[in-house]
Protein backbone atom coordinates (compact mmCIF):
# COMPACT_ATOMS: atom_id res chain seq x y z
CA UNK A 1 0.00 0.00 0.00
CA UNK A 2 2.63 2.47 1.07
CA UNK A 3 4.98 1.55 -1.73
CA UNK A 4 2.13 1.92 -4.17
CA UNK A 5 1.28 5.42 -3.00
CA UNK A 6 4.91 6.35 -2.88
CA UNK A 7 5.45 5.20 -6.43
CA UNK A 8 2.32 7.04 -7.48
CA UNK A 9 3.64 10.14 -5.84
CA UNK A 10 7.07 9.97 -7.41
CA UNK A 11 5.40 9.63 -10.78
CA UNK A 12 3.36 12.74 -10.09
CA UNK A 13 6.42 14.68 -9.06
CA UNK A 14 7.97 13.78 -12.36
CA UNK A 15 4.88 14.89 -14.25
CA UNK A 16 4.33 18.26 -12.59
CA UNK A 17 7.72 18.59 -10.98
CA UNK A 18 10.11 21.38 -11.72
CA UNK A 19 13.56 20.58 -13.11
CA UNK A 20 16.39 20.59 -10.61
CA UNK A 21 18.13 23.71 -11.87
CA UNK A 22 14.87 25.63 -11.74
CA UNK A 23 14.38 24.59 -8.13
CA UNK A 24 17.89 25.77 -7.28
CA UNK A 25 17.32 29.07 -9.03
CA UNK A 26 14.02 29.50 -7.25
CA UNK A 27 15.49 28.78 -3.85
CA UNK A 28 18.38 31.16 -4.48
CA UNK A 29 16.00 33.96 -5.41
CA UNK A 30 13.86 33.23 -2.34
CA UNK A 31 16.89 33.08 -0.09
CA UNK A 32 18.25 36.38 -1.39
CA UNK A 33 14.84 37.98 -0.96
CA UNK A 34 14.57 36.73 2.63
CA UNK A 35 18.03 38.03 3.49
CA UNK A 36 17.28 41.41 1.89
CA UNK A 37 14.11 41.66 3.96
CA UNK A 38 15.97 40.83 7.13
CA UNK A 39 18.94 43.03 6.30
CA UNK A 40 17.71 46.34 7.82
CA UNK A 41 17.07 44.52 11.09
CA UNK A 42 20.37 42.65 10.95
CA UNK A 43 22.13 45.92 10.18
CA UNK A 44 20.50 47.57 13.21
CA UNK A 45 21.82 44.84 15.51
CA UNK A 46 25.30 44.92 13.96
CA UNK A 47 25.50 48.72 14.16
CA UNK A 48 24.47 48.57 17.80
CA UNK A 49 27.75 46.81 18.61
CA UNK A 50 30.06 49.16 16.71
CA UNK A 51 32.04 52.18 17.77
CA UNK A 52 30.91 55.46 16.26
CA UNK A 53 34.03 55.70 14.08
CA UNK A 54 33.38 52.21 12.77
CA UNK A 55 29.73 53.02 12.14
CA UNK A 56 30.70 55.86 9.80
CA UNK A 57 33.72 54.24 8.18
CA UNK A 58 32.37 50.81 7.37
CA UNK A 59 28.57 50.70 7.66
CA UNK A 60 28.26 47.32 5.91
CA UNK A 61 30.89 45.34 7.75
CA UNK A 62 30.50 43.29 10.90
CA UNK A 63 31.69 44.99 14.08
CA UNK A 64 35.39 44.36 14.74
CA UNK A 65 34.77 44.23 18.47
CA UNK A 66 31.49 43.56 20.23
CA UNK A 67 30.91 46.66 22.34
CA UNK A 68 28.29 45.44 24.78
CA UNK A 69 28.65 48.61 26.81
CA UNK A 70 26.82 50.45 23.97
CA UNK A 71 23.67 48.84 25.30
CA UNK A 72 24.42 49.86 28.86
CA UNK A 73 25.06 53.44 27.79
CA UNK A 74 21.99 53.61 25.54
CA UNK A 75 19.88 52.23 28.37
CA UNK A 76 21.15 54.94 30.74
CA UNK A 77 21.25 57.87 28.31
CA UNK A 78 17.72 57.42 26.94
CA UNK A 79 16.15 56.58 30.28
CA UNK A 80 14.79 53.41 28.78
CA UNK A 81 14.43 51.64 32.10
CA UNK A 82 11.48 53.73 33.15
CA UNK A 83 9.94 53.60 29.67
CA UNK A 84 10.29 49.81 29.57
CA UNK A 85 8.56 49.53 32.96
CA UNK A 86 5.77 51.83 31.76
CA UNK A 87 5.35 49.77 28.60
CA UNK A 88 5.27 46.54 30.61
CA UNK A 89 2.70 47.91 33.04
CA UNK A 90 0.41 49.40 30.39
CA UNK A 91 0.67 46.30 28.18
CA UNK A 92 -0.05 44.02 31.14
CA UNK A 93 -3.13 45.96 32.28
CA UNK A 94 -4.54 46.25 28.77
CA UNK A 95 -3.96 42.53 28.18
CA UNK A 96 -5.76 41.50 31.38
CA UNK A 97 -8.72 43.71 30.51
CA UNK A 98 -8.81 42.61 26.88
CA UNK A 99 -8.66 38.91 27.71
CA UNK A 100 -11.25 39.10 30.48
CA UNK A 101 -13.75 41.29 28.63
CA UNK A 102 -13.12 39.60 25.28
CA UNK A 103 -13.70 36.11 26.69
CA UNK A 104 -16.74 37.18 28.71
CA UNK A 105 -18.36 38.96 25.77
CA UNK A 106 -17.62 36.08 23.41
CA UNK A 107 -19.06 33.59 25.91
CA UNK A 108 -22.29 35.57 26.27
CA UNK A 109 -22.58 36.13 22.53
CA UNK A 110 -22.10 32.45 21.75
CA UNK A 111 -24.25 30.85 24.50
CA UNK A 112 -27.09 33.26 25.25
CA UNK A 113 -29.88 34.81 23.27
CA UNK A 114 -30.83 38.33 24.23
CA UNK A 115 -32.26 41.47 22.77
CA UNK A 116 -29.72 43.62 20.95
CA UNK A 117 -27.37 40.73 20.23
CA UNK A 118 -27.20 41.47 16.52
CA UNK A 119 -26.81 45.18 17.23
CA UNK A 120 -23.84 44.44 19.49
CA UNK A 121 -22.19 42.16 16.93
CA UNK A 122 -22.77 44.79 14.25
CA UNK A 123 -21.27 47.53 16.41
CA UNK A 124 -18.18 45.41 17.07
CA UNK A 125 -17.78 44.76 13.34
CA UNK A 126 -18.32 48.41 12.51
CA UNK A 127 -15.68 49.46 15.02
CA UNK A 128 -13.09 47.49 13.08
CA UNK A 129 -13.72 49.71 10.05
CA UNK A 130 -13.01 52.96 11.90
CA UNK A 131 -9.49 54.24 11.18
CA UNK A 132 -7.86 54.47 14.61
CA UNK A 133 -6.19 57.80 13.89
CA UNK A 134 -9.45 59.54 13.17
CA UNK A 135 -10.41 59.06 16.82
CA UNK A 136 -7.30 60.78 18.15
CA UNK A 137 -8.70 64.31 18.26
CA UNK A 138 -12.10 63.51 19.84
CA UNK A 139 -10.44 61.10 22.29
CA UNK A 140 -7.95 63.81 23.24
CA UNK A 141 -10.77 66.27 23.88
CA UNK A 142 -12.68 63.71 25.91
CA UNK A 143 -9.68 62.61 27.97
CA UNK A 144 -8.91 66.22 28.64
CA UNK A 145 -12.44 66.77 29.96
CA UNK A 146 -12.52 63.76 32.24
CA UNK A 147 -8.97 64.32 33.42
CA UNK A 148 -7.48 61.16 31.98
CA UNK A 149 -4.76 62.89 29.95
CA UNK A 150 -1.28 62.01 31.16
CA UNK A 151 -2.38 58.89 32.98
CA UNK A 152 -1.75 55.30 32.00
CA UNK A 153 -5.51 54.76 31.91
CA UNK A 154 -5.54 57.00 28.84
CA UNK A 155 -3.66 54.22 27.08
CA UNK A 156 -5.06 51.09 28.73
CA UNK A 157 -8.73 51.91 28.10
CA UNK A 158 -8.47 52.79 24.36
CA UNK A 159 -6.10 49.86 23.77
CA UNK A 160 -8.67 47.53 25.30
CA UNK A 161 -11.56 49.13 23.44
CA UNK A 162 -9.89 48.89 20.03
CA UNK A 163 -8.62 45.33 20.61
CA UNK A 164 -12.00 44.13 21.91
CA UNK A 165 -13.61 43.30 18.54
CA UNK A 166 -10.75 41.10 17.35
CA UNK A 167 -10.53 39.44 20.76
CA UNK A 168 -14.28 38.74 20.80
CA UNK A 169 -14.30 37.33 17.28
CA UNK A 170 -11.27 35.06 17.83
CA UNK A 171 -12.77 33.57 21.02
CA UNK A 172 -16.25 33.44 19.47
CA UNK A 173 -14.99 31.45 16.48
CA UNK A 174 -13.27 29.05 18.85
CA UNK A 175 -16.32 28.65 21.11
CA UNK A 176 -18.70 27.74 18.28
CA UNK A 177 -16.70 24.55 17.75
CA UNK A 178 -16.82 23.58 21.43
CA UNK A 179 -19.73 21.32 22.49
CA UNK A 180 -21.97 22.71 25.22
CA UNK A 181 -22.36 19.45 27.18
CA UNK A 182 -19.86 20.32 29.86
CA UNK A 183 -21.49 23.66 30.57
CA UNK A 184 -24.95 22.12 30.66
CA UNK A 185 -23.77 19.45 33.09
CA UNK A 186 -22.24 22.12 35.29
CA UNK A 187 -25.50 24.04 35.20
CA UNK A 188 -27.42 20.95 36.35
CA UNK A 189 -24.88 20.52 39.15
CA UNK A 190 -25.88 23.93 40.39
CA UNK A 191 -23.01 25.96 39.02
CA UNK A 192 -23.72 29.63 38.32
CA UNK A 193 -22.84 31.27 35.04
CA UNK A 194 -19.93 33.08 36.61
CA UNK A 195 -18.63 29.75 37.83
CA UNK A 196 -19.04 28.22 34.38
CA UNK A 197 -17.19 31.15 32.85
CA UNK A 198 -14.22 30.98 35.21
CA UNK A 199 -14.04 27.21 35.63
CA UNK A 200 -14.97 25.97 32.14
CA UNK A 201 -14.91 28.69 29.50
CA UNK A 202 -11.61 30.33 30.42
CA UNK A 203 -9.60 27.06 30.56
CA UNK A 204 -11.29 25.62 27.47
CA UNK A 205 -10.67 28.70 25.32
CA UNK A 206 -7.03 28.95 26.40
CA UNK A 207 -5.66 28.35 22.87
CA UNK A 208 -7.81 31.18 21.46
CA UNK A 209 -6.95 33.40 24.42
CA UNK A 210 -3.25 32.84 23.87
CA UNK A 211 -3.62 34.08 20.29
CA UNK A 212 -5.47 37.14 21.57
CA UNK A 213 -2.74 37.70 24.16
CA UNK A 214 0.08 37.47 21.64
CA UNK A 215 -1.60 39.84 19.17
CA UNK A 216 -2.52 42.25 21.96
CA UNK A 217 1.00 42.20 23.33
CA UNK A 218 2.46 43.14 19.94
CA UNK A 219 -0.12 45.86 19.36
CA UNK A 220 0.14 47.44 22.83
CA UNK A 221 3.91 47.19 23.12
CA UNK A 222 4.42 48.84 19.73
CA UNK A 223 1.69 51.50 19.83
CA UNK A 224 2.89 54.98 19.10
CA UNK A 225 -0.05 57.19 18.07
CA UNK A 226 -2.10 56.98 21.27
CA UNK A 227 0.98 57.39 23.45
CA UNK A 228 2.09 60.39 21.39
CA UNK A 229 -1.21 62.22 21.81
CA UNK A 230 -2.27 61.23 25.34
CA UNK A 231 1.03 61.13 27.23
CA UNK A 232 3.20 64.17 27.82
CA UNK A 233 4.72 63.46 31.23
CA UNK A 234 8.26 62.04 30.75
CA UNK A 235 7.69 59.75 33.73
CA UNK A 236 4.77 58.04 32.01
CA UNK A 237 6.20 57.61 28.52
CA UNK A 238 6.18 54.17 26.95
CA UNK A 239 9.05 52.72 24.91
CA UNK A 240 8.06 53.79 21.38
CA UNK A 241 7.43 57.33 22.62
CA UNK A 242 10.75 57.57 24.43
CA UNK A 243 12.51 56.14 21.36
CA UNK A 244 10.95 58.68 19.05
CA UNK A 245 13.25 61.37 20.48
CA UNK A 246 16.00 59.63 18.52
CA UNK A 247 14.08 60.37 15.33
CA UNK A 248 14.23 64.12 15.74
CA UNK A 249 17.92 64.01 14.95
CA UNK A 250 19.09 65.60 18.16
CA UNK A 251 21.12 62.51 18.70
CA UNK A 252 24.00 62.06 16.30
CA UNK A 253 25.19 59.05 18.25
CA UNK A 254 23.89 56.49 15.81
CA UNK A 255 25.28 53.42 17.50
CA UNK A 256 23.47 54.33 20.74
CA UNK A 257 20.28 54.96 18.77
CA UNK A 258 20.64 51.55 17.17
CA UNK A 259 21.40 49.94 20.53
CA UNK A 260 18.27 51.49 22.04
CA UNK A 261 16.11 50.35 19.12
CA UNK A 262 17.65 46.90 19.27
CA UNK A 263 16.79 46.51 22.94
CA UNK A 264 13.27 47.85 22.56
CA UNK A 265 12.55 45.42 19.70
CA UNK A 266 13.92 42.36 21.45
CA UNK A 267 10.75 41.40 23.38
CA UNK A 268 8.52 41.43 20.30
CA UNK A 269 11.12 39.56 18.24
CA UNK A 270 11.39 36.87 20.93
CA UNK A 271 7.61 36.53 21.16
CA UNK A 272 7.49 36.26 17.37
CA UNK A 273 10.19 33.59 17.23
CA UNK A 274 8.38 31.59 19.89
CA UNK A 275 4.88 31.81 18.42
CA UNK A 276 5.48 32.34 14.69
CA UNK A 277 2.46 30.45 13.40
CA UNK A 278 0.04 32.05 15.84
CA UNK A 279 1.40 35.53 15.14
CA UNK A 280 1.25 35.15 11.36
CA UNK A 281 -2.19 33.55 11.21
CA UNK A 282 -3.63 35.85 13.87
CA UNK A 283 -2.34 39.05 12.27
CA UNK A 284 -3.51 37.99 8.81
CA UNK A 285 -6.97 37.18 10.19
CA UNK A 286 -7.02 40.42 12.16
CA UNK A 287 -6.13 42.38 9.04
CA UNK A 288 -8.98 40.84 7.06
CA UNK A 289 -11.49 41.69 9.72
CA UNK A 290 -9.96 45.02 10.63
CA UNK B 1 -38.06 31.68 36.85
CA UNK B 2 -35.04 32.07 39.06
CA UNK B 3 -32.72 30.80 36.38
CA UNK B 4 -34.32 33.24 34.00
CA UNK B 5 -33.47 36.20 36.21
CA UNK B 6 -30.02 34.78 36.92
CA UNK B 7 -29.45 34.47 33.19
CA UNK B 8 -30.61 38.00 32.56
CA UNK B 9 -28.49 39.40 35.33
CA UNK B 10 -25.45 37.56 34.07
CA UNK B 11 -25.93 38.74 30.48
CA UNK B 12 -26.52 42.32 31.57
CA UNK B 13 -23.67 42.64 34.02
CA UNK B 14 -21.35 40.54 31.90
CA UNK B 15 -21.77 42.74 28.85
CA UNK B 16 -21.89 46.06 30.66
CA UNK B 17 -18.12 46.70 31.07
CA UNK B 18 -17.37 45.78 27.45
CA UNK B 19 -20.22 47.89 26.12
CA UNK B 20 -19.23 50.89 28.23
CA UNK B 21 -15.52 50.80 27.34
CA UNK B 22 -16.21 50.10 23.69
CA UNK B 23 -18.90 52.76 23.33
CA UNK B 24 -16.98 55.45 25.17
CA UNK B 25 -13.64 54.95 23.41
CA UNK B 26 -14.61 53.76 19.93
CA UNK B 27 -18.17 54.72 19.02
CA UNK B 28 -18.69 58.04 20.81
CA UNK B 29 -15.47 59.66 19.45
CA UNK B 30 -16.76 59.19 15.90
CA UNK B 31 -19.89 61.20 16.63
CA UNK B 32 -18.05 63.68 18.79
CA UNK B 33 -15.61 64.50 16.05
CA UNK B 34 -18.54 65.12 13.72
CA UNK B 35 -20.08 67.38 16.38
CA UNK B 36 -16.92 69.34 17.24
CA UNK B 37 -16.22 69.77 13.56
CA UNK B 38 -18.87 72.49 13.60
CA UNK B 39 -17.07 74.55 16.24
CA UNK B 40 -14.12 76.88 16.47
CA UNK B 41 -12.36 75.72 19.60
CA UNK B 42 -8.84 76.21 20.92
CA UNK B 43 -9.05 73.67 23.71
CA UNK B 44 -9.73 76.26 26.36
CA UNK B 45 -12.54 78.76 26.65
CA UNK B 46 -15.81 78.75 24.78
CA UNK B 47 -16.35 76.73 21.65
CA UNK B 48 -17.90 78.92 18.98
CA UNK B 49 -20.39 77.38 16.56
CA UNK B 50 -19.42 78.07 12.99
CA UNK B 51 -21.50 75.74 10.83
CA UNK B 52 -19.72 74.06 7.99
CA UNK B 53 -16.81 76.52 8.17
CA UNK B 54 -14.18 73.96 9.20
CA UNK B 55 -15.30 71.52 6.55
CA UNK B 56 -15.25 74.06 3.74
CA UNK B 57 -11.88 75.31 4.93
CA UNK B 58 -10.42 71.80 4.80
CA UNK B 59 -11.93 71.12 1.40
CA UNK B 60 -10.53 74.43 0.15
CA UNK B 61 -7.06 73.74 1.52
CA UNK B 62 -4.51 72.64 -1.08
CA UNK B 63 -2.56 70.75 1.56
CA UNK B 64 -5.62 68.66 2.36
CA UNK B 65 -5.83 67.58 -1.26
CA UNK B 66 -2.08 67.05 -1.42
CA UNK B 67 -2.44 64.73 1.60
CA UNK B 68 -5.25 62.85 -0.09
CA UNK B 69 -3.08 62.53 -3.21
CA UNK B 70 -0.22 61.18 -1.09
CA UNK B 71 -2.60 58.70 0.50
CA UNK B 72 -3.51 57.54 -2.98
CA UNK B 73 0.21 57.19 -3.80
CA UNK B 74 0.49 54.85 -0.83
CA UNK B 75 -2.54 52.93 -2.11
CA UNK B 76 -1.01 52.63 -5.58
CA UNK B 77 2.38 51.56 -4.19
CA UNK B 78 0.66 48.98 -1.99
CA UNK B 79 -1.57 47.58 -4.71
CA UNK B 80 1.24 47.33 -7.26
CA UNK B 81 4.01 46.57 -4.77
CA UNK B 82 2.70 44.52 -1.88
CA UNK B 83 0.07 42.49 -3.71
CA UNK B 84 2.22 41.18 -6.63
CA UNK B 85 5.26 40.50 -4.44
CA UNK B 86 3.14 38.69 -1.85
CA UNK B 87 1.37 36.68 -4.56
CA UNK B 88 4.61 35.72 -6.27
CA UNK B 89 6.17 34.68 -2.98
CA UNK B 90 3.07 32.68 -2.10
CA UNK B 91 3.25 30.79 -5.40
CA UNK B 92 6.88 29.93 -4.67
CA UNK B 93 6.33 29.06 -1.01
CA UNK B 94 3.54 26.50 -1.20
CA UNK B 95 5.57 23.49 -0.09
CA UNK B 96 6.33 24.41 3.50
CA UNK B 97 9.80 22.90 3.75
CA UNK B 98 11.99 24.30 6.53
CA UNK B 99 13.65 26.61 4.03
CA UNK B 100 10.32 27.92 2.74
CA UNK B 101 9.09 28.38 6.29
CA UNK B 102 12.23 30.39 7.02
CA UNK B 103 11.60 32.64 4.02
CA UNK B 104 7.97 33.11 5.06
CA UNK B 105 8.94 33.96 8.63
CA UNK B 106 11.56 36.45 7.40
CA UNK B 107 9.10 38.24 5.14
CA UNK B 108 6.68 38.56 8.04
CA UNK B 109 9.29 39.80 10.52
CA UNK B 110 8.82 43.60 10.03
CA UNK B 111 5.21 43.22 11.18
CA UNK B 112 6.27 42.69 14.80
CA UNK B 113 8.49 45.77 14.95
CA UNK B 114 7.31 49.11 16.27
CA UNK B 115 6.79 51.65 13.50
CA UNK B 116 9.08 53.98 15.43
CA UNK B 117 11.88 51.45 15.10
CA UNK B 118 11.10 50.92 11.41
CA UNK B 119 10.98 54.66 10.79
CA UNK B 120 14.32 55.34 12.44
CA UNK B 121 16.05 52.41 10.69
CA UNK B 122 14.83 53.58 7.28
CA UNK B 123 15.63 57.22 7.98
CA UNK B 124 19.17 56.10 8.68
CA UNK B 125 19.22 54.02 5.49
CA UNK B 126 18.15 57.11 3.52
CA UNK B 127 20.47 59.48 5.43
CA UNK B 128 22.31 61.70 2.90
CA UNK B 129 25.75 61.42 4.54
CA UNK B 130 25.91 58.18 6.47
CA UNK B 131 22.99 56.33 4.87
CA UNK B 132 23.29 52.80 3.56
CA UNK B 133 21.63 53.64 0.27
CA UNK B 134 24.13 56.34 -0.68
CA UNK B 135 26.93 54.16 0.63
CA UNK B 136 25.78 51.34 -1.61
CA UNK B 137 25.62 53.67 -4.64
CA UNK B 138 29.18 54.78 -3.90
CA UNK B 139 30.32 51.19 -3.65
CA UNK B 140 28.92 50.20 -7.03
CA UNK B 141 30.25 53.36 -8.68
CA UNK B 142 26.95 55.16 -9.10
CA UNK B 143 27.97 58.01 -6.82
CA UNK B 144 26.27 60.62 -9.00
CA UNK B 145 22.89 59.05 -8.21
CA UNK B 146 23.30 59.90 -4.54
CA UNK B 147 20.52 61.99 -3.08
CA UNK B 148 19.02 63.37 0.07
CA UNK B 149 16.23 60.87 -0.41
CA UNK B 150 13.74 62.25 2.07
CA UNK B 151 14.35 65.96 1.43
CA UNK B 152 13.54 65.89 -2.27
CA UNK B 153 9.81 66.68 -2.53
CA UNK B 154 9.62 65.01 -5.93
CA UNK B 155 10.56 61.56 -4.64
CA UNK B 156 10.14 61.68 -0.84
CA UNK B 157 6.66 60.17 -0.90
CA UNK B 158 7.77 57.24 -3.05
CA UNK B 159 10.79 56.67 -0.85
CA UNK B 160 8.45 56.36 2.12
CA UNK B 161 6.27 53.94 0.20
CA UNK B 162 9.18 51.48 0.10
CA UNK B 163 9.34 50.80 3.85
CA UNK B 164 5.55 50.68 3.87
CA UNK B 165 5.65 47.94 1.21
CA UNK B 166 8.48 46.16 3.03
CA UNK B 167 6.55 46.33 6.29
CA UNK B 168 3.21 44.88 5.20
CA UNK B 169 3.93 42.10 2.69
CA UNK B 170 3.75 39.45 5.43
CA UNK B 171 -0.01 39.34 6.12
CA UNK B 172 -0.82 39.36 2.39
CA UNK B 173 1.59 36.47 1.87
CA UNK B 174 -0.18 34.47 4.60
CA UNK B 175 -3.59 35.24 3.07
CA UNK B 176 -2.46 34.14 -0.38
CA UNK B 177 -0.90 30.96 1.01
CA UNK B 178 -4.18 30.13 2.76
CA UNK B 179 -6.12 30.81 -0.45
CA UNK B 180 -3.74 28.71 -2.56
CA UNK B 181 -3.89 25.79 -0.15
CA UNK B 182 -7.68 25.79 -0.37
CA UNK B 183 -7.61 25.16 -4.13
CA UNK B 184 -8.69 21.52 -4.46
CA UNK B 185 -5.91 19.33 -5.86
CA UNK B 186 -8.36 17.98 -8.48
CA UNK B 187 -8.12 21.40 -10.13
CA UNK B 188 -4.38 20.95 -10.52
CA UNK B 189 -4.84 17.47 -11.91
CA UNK B 190 -7.54 18.59 -14.32
CA UNK B 191 -5.36 21.45 -15.51
CA UNK B 192 -2.47 19.09 -16.04
CA UNK B 193 -4.72 16.70 -17.95
CA UNK B 194 -5.70 19.54 -20.25
CA UNK B 195 -2.06 20.22 -20.82
CA UNK B 196 -2.08 23.54 -18.98
CA UNK B 197 1.06 24.30 -17.04
CA UNK B 198 3.23 27.17 -15.95
CA UNK B 199 1.99 30.62 -16.80
CA UNK B 200 -1.14 29.41 -18.57
CA UNK B 201 -2.23 27.38 -15.58
CA UNK B 202 -1.53 30.37 -13.36
CA UNK B 203 -3.69 32.69 -15.43
CA UNK B 204 -6.57 30.38 -16.30
CA UNK B 205 -6.80 28.24 -13.16
CA UNK B 206 -4.95 29.60 -10.15
CA UNK B 207 -5.67 33.33 -10.37
CA UNK B 208 -9.44 32.95 -10.86
CA UNK B 209 -9.54 30.58 -7.88
CA UNK B 210 -7.95 33.13 -5.56
CA UNK B 211 -9.53 36.21 -7.13
CA UNK B 212 -11.61 36.86 -4.00
CA UNK B 213 -8.48 36.98 -1.87
CA UNK B 214 -6.84 39.39 -4.29
CA UNK B 215 -9.85 41.68 -3.97
CA UNK B 216 -9.66 41.51 -0.18
CA UNK B 217 -5.98 42.49 -0.25
CA UNK B 218 -6.77 45.48 -2.46
CA UNK B 219 -9.39 46.71 0.01
CA UNK B 220 -6.83 46.24 2.78
CA UNK B 221 -4.31 48.32 0.83
CA UNK B 222 -6.85 51.14 0.72
CA UNK B 223 -7.77 51.04 4.39
CA UNK B 224 -4.14 50.43 5.34
CA UNK B 225 -2.99 53.63 3.65
CA UNK B 226 -5.11 55.61 6.09
CA UNK B 227 -3.24 54.03 8.96
CA UNK B 228 0.23 55.10 7.84
CA UNK B 229 0.76 57.85 10.35
CA UNK B 230 3.50 56.66 12.70
CA UNK B 231 6.05 56.11 9.95
CA UNK B 232 5.46 59.57 8.48
CA UNK B 233 5.65 61.22 11.88
CA UNK B 234 8.98 59.56 12.63
CA UNK B 235 10.59 59.88 9.19
CA UNK B 236 9.55 63.27 7.81
CA UNK B 237 6.65 64.62 9.87
CA UNK B 238 4.94 65.42 6.59
CA UNK B 239 7.76 67.47 5.14
CA UNK B 240 9.56 68.73 3.14
CA UNK B 241 6.92 71.39 2.42
CA UNK B 242 4.06 68.91 3.04
CA UNK B 243 5.43 66.64 0.28
CA UNK B 244 4.86 63.56 2.43
CA UNK B 245 1.78 64.77 4.29
CA UNK B 246 -0.88 62.08 4.65
CA UNK B 247 -4.45 62.67 5.78
CA UNK B 248 -3.65 61.38 9.26
CA UNK B 249 -0.54 63.53 9.66
CA UNK B 250 -2.38 66.54 8.22
CA UNK B 251 -5.04 65.98 10.85
CA UNK B 252 -2.42 65.66 13.58
CA UNK B 253 -0.41 68.71 12.51
CA UNK B 254 -3.41 70.96 12.05
CA UNK B 255 -4.77 70.00 15.47
CA UNK B 256 -2.06 69.53 18.03
CA UNK B 257 0.55 71.93 16.70
CA UNK B 258 -1.81 74.88 16.40
CA UNK B 259 -4.48 73.92 18.96
CA UNK B 260 -7.37 73.93 16.52
CA UNK B 261 -9.44 71.11 17.93
CA UNK B 262 -12.58 72.01 15.99
CA UNK B 263 -10.71 71.99 12.71
CA UNK B 264 -8.97 68.72 13.59
CA UNK B 265 -12.32 67.17 14.42
CA UNK B 266 -13.68 68.21 11.05
CA UNK B 267 -10.67 66.65 9.31
CA UNK B 268 -11.10 63.47 11.39
CA UNK B 269 -14.69 63.27 10.25
CA UNK B 270 -13.62 63.76 6.65
CA UNK B 271 -11.10 60.92 7.03
CA UNK B 272 -13.83 58.60 8.31
CA UNK B 273 -16.12 59.60 5.45
CA UNK B 274 -13.34 59.14 2.87
CA UNK B 275 -12.42 55.74 4.24
CA UNK B 276 -16.06 54.62 4.24
CA UNK B 277 -16.49 55.89 0.67
CA UNK B 278 -13.34 54.08 -0.47
CA UNK B 279 -14.34 50.84 1.24
CA UNK B 280 -17.93 51.02 0.01
CA UNK B 281 -16.74 51.94 -3.47
CA UNK B 282 -14.36 49.02 -3.70
CA UNK B 283 -17.07 46.68 -2.37
CA UNK B 284 -19.47 47.94 -5.01
CA UNK B 285 -16.92 47.48 -7.78
CA UNK B 286 -16.36 43.93 -6.65
CA UNK B 287 -20.03 43.06 -6.49
CA UNK B 288 -20.49 44.26 -10.03
CA UNK B 289 -17.59 42.11 -11.13
CA UNK B 290 -19.13 39.12 -9.41
CA UNK B 291 -22.42 39.55 -11.22
CA UNK B 292 -20.94 39.56 -14.69
Contact criterion met (CB < 8 Å) for B117 and A101? no
DSSP B258: T
CATH number of residue B204's parent domain: 1.10.3720.10
Residue A92 has pLDDT above 90, yes or no: yes
Does the beta carbon of A8 lie under 8 angstroms from any beta carbon of chain B?
no
Using a CB-CB cut-off of 8 Å, the residues of chain B touching A288 are 175, 216, 220
Q: What is the number of CB-based contacts under 8 A between chain A and chain B?
A: 272
Bridge partner list, B48: B40
In a domain, B120, yes or no: no
In a domain, B186, yes or no: yes
Which residues 46-65 of B have a C-beta within 8 angstroms of A?
Answer: none
In a domain, B268, yes or no: yes
In a domain, B235, yes or no: yes
Does the beta carbon of A2 lie under 8 angstroms from any beta carbon of chain B?
no
For residues A92, A77, A229, B18, the Cα torsion angle rounded to the nearest 10 degrees is 0
How far does chain B reach from its first CA to its final CA, in angstroms?
55
Encode pLDDT of B20-74 as tens digits. Answer: 999 999 999 888 888 888 888 876 777 788 888 888 888 888 899 999 999 999 9
In a domain, B55, yes or no: no
pLDDT of residue B41: 80
Does the beta carbon of B32 lie under 8 angstroms from any beta carbon of chain A?
yes
Q: What's the rounded Cα separation, in Å, for the pair B125 and A43?
A: 10
pLDDT of residue A38: 94
pLDDT of residue A6: 45
Q: Which span out of A201-210, A253-262, B272-281 was modeled with the highest average pLDDT?
A: A201-210
Model ipTM value: 0.86
Q: How many domains does chain B have?
A: 1
Using a CB-CB cut-off of 8 Å, the residues of chain B touching A244 are 116, 233-234
In a domain, B239, yes or no: yes
Nearest-CA residue of chain B relative to A58?
Answer: B135
pLDDT of residue B237: 84
Residue A185 has pLDDT above 70, yes or no: yes
Domains of chain A (ranges, CATH numbers): 1-40 (no CATH), 80-289 (1.10.3720.10)
Q: What's the rounded Cα separation, in Å, for the pair A221 and A218?
A: 5
Contact criterion met (CB < 8 Å) for B92 and A26? yes
Contact criterion met (CB < 8 Å) for B276 and A129? yes
Domain span holding position B230: 65-114+153-291
pLDDT of residue A290: 45
Using a CB-CB cut-off of 8 Å, the residues of chain A touching B102 are 34
* Phi, psi dihedrals of residue B110, rounded to the nearest 5°: -60, -25
Q: What's the rounded Cα separation, in Å, for the pair B37 and B210?
A: 42
| Coil, strand or helix at B48 | strand
What's A196-236 look like in SS3? HHHHHHHHHCHHHHHHHHHHHHHHHHHCCHHHHHHCCCHHH
Using a CB-CB cut-off of 8 Å, the residues of chain B touching A145 are none
Q: Counting beta carbons within 10 angstroms of the beta carbon of residue B256, is it exposed (0 to 12), middle (13 to 18) or buried (19 or more)?
A: middle
In a domain, B185, yes or no: yes
Contact criterion met (CB < 8 Å) for B272 and A243? no
Residue B191 has pLDDT above 80, yes or no: no
In a domain, B58, yes or no: no
> Which residue out of B5, B8, B22 would a mutagenesis test of the A interface target, given it has the greatest number of A Cβ atoms within 10 Å?
B22
Nearest C-alpha of chain B: how many angstroms from A142? 8
CB within 8 A of A231, min separation 6: which ones?
A150, A154, A155, A237, A238, A241
Amino acid sequence: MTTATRRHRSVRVKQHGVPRWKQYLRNTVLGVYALLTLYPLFWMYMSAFKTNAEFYASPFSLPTSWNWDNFVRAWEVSGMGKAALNSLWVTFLALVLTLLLGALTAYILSRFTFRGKRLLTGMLLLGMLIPVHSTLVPLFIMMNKIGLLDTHAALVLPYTAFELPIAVFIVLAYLTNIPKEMEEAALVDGSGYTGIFTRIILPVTLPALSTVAILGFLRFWNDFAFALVFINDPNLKTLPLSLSVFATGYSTDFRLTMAALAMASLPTIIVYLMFQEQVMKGMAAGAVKG
Amino acid sequence: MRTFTAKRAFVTFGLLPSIIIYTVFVIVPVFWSAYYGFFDWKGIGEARFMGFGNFTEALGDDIFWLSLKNNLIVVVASVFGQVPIALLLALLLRKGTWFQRFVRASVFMPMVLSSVVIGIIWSTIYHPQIGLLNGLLDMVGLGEWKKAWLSDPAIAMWMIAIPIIWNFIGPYLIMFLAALSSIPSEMDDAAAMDGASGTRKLISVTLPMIWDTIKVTIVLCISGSLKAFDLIYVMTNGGPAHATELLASYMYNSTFNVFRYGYGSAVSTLIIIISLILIAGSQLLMRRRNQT
